[in-house]
Structure 1
Amino acid sequence: MRQMRKRLMLGACAGLLATVGMTATAASQDMPGEGETVTMARATWDTGWFHTEIYAEALRQLGFEIDGPVTLDNPPFYQAVSTGDVDLWVNGWFPLHNTYERFYEGQAELVGYVAEGGALQGYLVDKKTAEEHDITSIEDFKKDEIKEIFDSNGDGKADMVACPPGWGCEVTIDHHMDAYDLRDHVNLITAGYAASMADALARYQQGEPIFFYTWTPNWTVGVLEPGEDVVWLEVDHADLPEDQKDLEDATTLSGVTGCVADPCNMGWPANDIRAVANSEFLDANPAARKLLEVMEIPLDDIFAQNALMNDGEDSEEDLQRHAREWVANNQETFDGWLEEARSAAQ
């Protein structure tokens, strides 16, 4: 009888241990990132912060602790991701960021697409001035009468809101200044972009002409709508930096709303917004790799959130709320990404 009781007790303990084991396994499958910390970065342009927060929330729901995101310019990020000081960001713009490949080659990789294609860049002027003076190309800024219209400081050059150092776009703009022989004709405003564009908007609202570089998604093309308020200009011919030379045929795009011509040679190829992550981190965390592979955020949704920021909802608390609301409004899709990520970790 004593032996029988002992066998029953051992059996019960074994069953309990098996149940605990299955529960632990299930928990680890649900939270494959538990115990792991992801050091995230984000770009210095705040139009990329919304989708950064959505990706961070997805990683949190897989059990990862999030360190950051720390705000970095392009060169420091690509150096940091190559050494593993930073694990990832979701603000890679390609081919624009091809120039940074030398920093991370063999140590980090591009994963998935936050937004594939459709991220446009180019030069714009207000529509009223463009139509009054027949401005259709940046070549027109070699004309003295056109330069004078956009010269606010009397230096004899047209003032253009350009791209701050460290963003990557400044490399292409500088290349264009030389390729199209515009150095003596265009003055690049490279101070803080948001402040410079706010000043341009104020001048536009007072009926003054404006000339600027921008990209999409961005609040600028919401407030200054292409085709209504402003127009995209063409370049005379495609001419890109050496690391983008093979994409010169891709600078001519059809159906660009608000361009002076269709098709439109914007001088820039459409970009993909992509995650860039340290290779060792990805190899050690298959759930994170899969998540980055399958997630994507519609450009229109990024644009809508950027418009909210421009309207004053621009605090960190606002940003986090916008991300939570987006997740709630896209819960089924979001949960599907998490399930795919969990399956990759099994």
Structure 2
Amino acid sequence: MKTPSSFQFIFLPTLISLMMGLISCQPTQQSSHSSSNLPPEEVTIRSAHTTWIEESFQTTIVNIGLEKLGYQIDSVQELEYPGIYLSLANGDLDYTVIYYSPSHQTLFDQAGGDEVLQKLGSFVPIGNRGYQIDKKTAEEYGITNLEQFQDPTIANLFDMDRDGKADLAGCNPGWTCESVINHHIEVYELEGTVEQNQGNYTALLSDVITRYKEGDPIMFYAYNPHWISAVLRPDEEVIWLEVPFTSIPDNPDITEEDTIFNGKNMGFSGGGQEIVVTKEFADANPVAKRWLESVQISLEDMNEVSLRIKEGENSQEDVRRLAEEWVSKNQEQFDRWIEEAKAAEN
């Protein structure tokens, strides 16, 4: 699951406002199907995702269902933020799978919010984020809470470079999780015993996996869904650490209730993924709307597919095959969603 960087939160709202101003001065091209209820075979649906291949997999699943319902599918575009939201707001797209809650709320609002756009259902359920260590070390030393890393004896178990601090594999510079981790190190009084290793997240995780295979203790930031949970499985190879209390920088509205998962305070609020459509498209196409608000991919399935993509199944042909395999695996539920969507026509 991707989250916008702190740069995006500062810069993108201003950029979006400027671009929306320019857009408002231009004649809007509305699609031929958005103003009236047409039968599916006369409707061509336009979508976009970012360059993240997992989103291509997700979009393909959604489009397979739309094809089954009789819709025509336009070529899927690859766009980045804020372009996708601006294209939706301008009527150049009908839907996208890329709304990450709550991280994308600012982008959503700046593109017109609920007056122009609509979120449909829980496409990928809420996943948790937080700190993990290997289960073997956790059980041997009774480690359950990040606060225990105030103890130099505990921290030294995870000190790979022998500088006196536990090495926490963290995030890319500029990601929002980077600043939250640094904040946690400060407020949980870990500055003398824990350091965040930063760099390419995938490379950092590859190093974590190597150390785990060599029998060394590991400590890293993780979020779900992500392929790492299919390699180092929670409660099997690794455990989630609790934090002593909830503290998110620059976001006082997040409470302890928002950061608790399965009875543990993870220190981070969870995030889900939703499909966003234009309100005009949703109103004009009830069958498509019902499909888009019904289809759902589990966290476990996303972790498995993400791992297969990482290991080389990353061509467009691979993505289509992975999507078709997912449909076949979930055929009974898939068919129920299709029938429910068809019923919305009545």
Q: Which bin holds the TM-score, normalised by the shorter protein?
A: 0.7 to 0.9
> Is 1:139 aligned with 2:147?
yes
Secondary structure of residue in 2 paired with 1:31: helix
Bigger Rg, which one: 1
Q: Tell me: CA distance 1:249–1:70, structure 2 relative to 1, closer, same or farther (3 Å).
A: same
Q: Structure 1 residue 235: deviation in Å?
A: 0.4
Task: Give 1:90's aligned amino acid.
Answer: V
What is residue 3 of structure 2 aligned with on the other side? none
Q: Structure 1 residue 170: deviation in Å?
A: 4.7
> TM-score, normalization: structure 1?
0.73
Secondary structure of residue in 1 paired with 2:76: strand
Secondary structure of residue in 1 paired with 2:46: strand
What is residue 232 of structure 1 aligned with on the other side? 240
Q: Tell me: CA distance 1:208–1:246, structure 2 relative to 1, closer, same or farther (3 Å).
A: closer
Instruction: Provide the rounded CA distance (Å) in 2 between the counterparts of 1:300 and 1:282.
Output: 29
Instruction: Provide the rounded CA distance (Å) in 1 between the counterparts of 2:202 and 2:341.
Output: 36
CA deviation profile, 1:65-108 (whole Å, cap 9, x unmatched): 23335263x65545554455554332433234445454332443
Q: Tell me: CA distance 1:278–1:210, structure 2 relative to 1, closer, same or farther (3 Å).
A: farther
> TM-score, normalization: structure 2?
0.73
Q: Structure 1 residue 40: deviation in Å?
A: 1.4
Which blocks of at least 5 consecutive residues in structure 2 are unaligned?
1-37
Cα RMSD over matched residues? 3.4
What is residue 320 of structure 1 aligned with on the other side? 320
Q: Tell me: CA distance 1:80–1:29, structure 2 relative to 1, closer, same or farther (3 Å).
A: closer
Q: Structure 1 residue 232: deviation in Å?
A: 0.7
What is residue 124 of structure 2 aligned with on the other side? 115
Listed as ranges, the matches of 1:291-302 within 5 Å are 291-302=291-302
> Is 1:212 aligned with 2:212?
no
Listed as ranges, the matches of 1:4-153 within 5 Å are 29-33=39-43, 36-42=44-50, 44=52, 46-61=53-68, 62-70=70-78, 72=80, 77-78=84-85, 81-84=88-91, 86-98=93-105, 100-104=107-111, 105-106=113-114, 107-117=116-126, 119-153=127-161
Which blocks of at least 5 consecutive residues in structure 1 are unaligned?
1-27, 255-262
Larger helix share, 1 or 2: 1
Q: Structure 1 residue 54: deviation in Å?
A: 0.7
Instruction: Provide the rounded CA distance (Å) in 2 between the counterparts of 1:80 and 1:219.
Output: 30
Secondary structure of residue in 2 paired with 1:67: coil
Alpha carbons 1:31, 1:342 under 8 Å: kept: no
Q: Tell me: CA distance 1:42–1:88, structure 2 relative to 1, closer, same or farther (3 Å).
A: farther
Q: How many residues are matched?
A: 306
What is residue 275 of structure 1 aligned with on the other side? 275
Instruction: Provide the rounded CA distance (Å) in 2 between the counterparts of 1:339 and 1:55.
Output: 15
Alpha carbons 2:254, 2:269 under 8 Å: kept: no
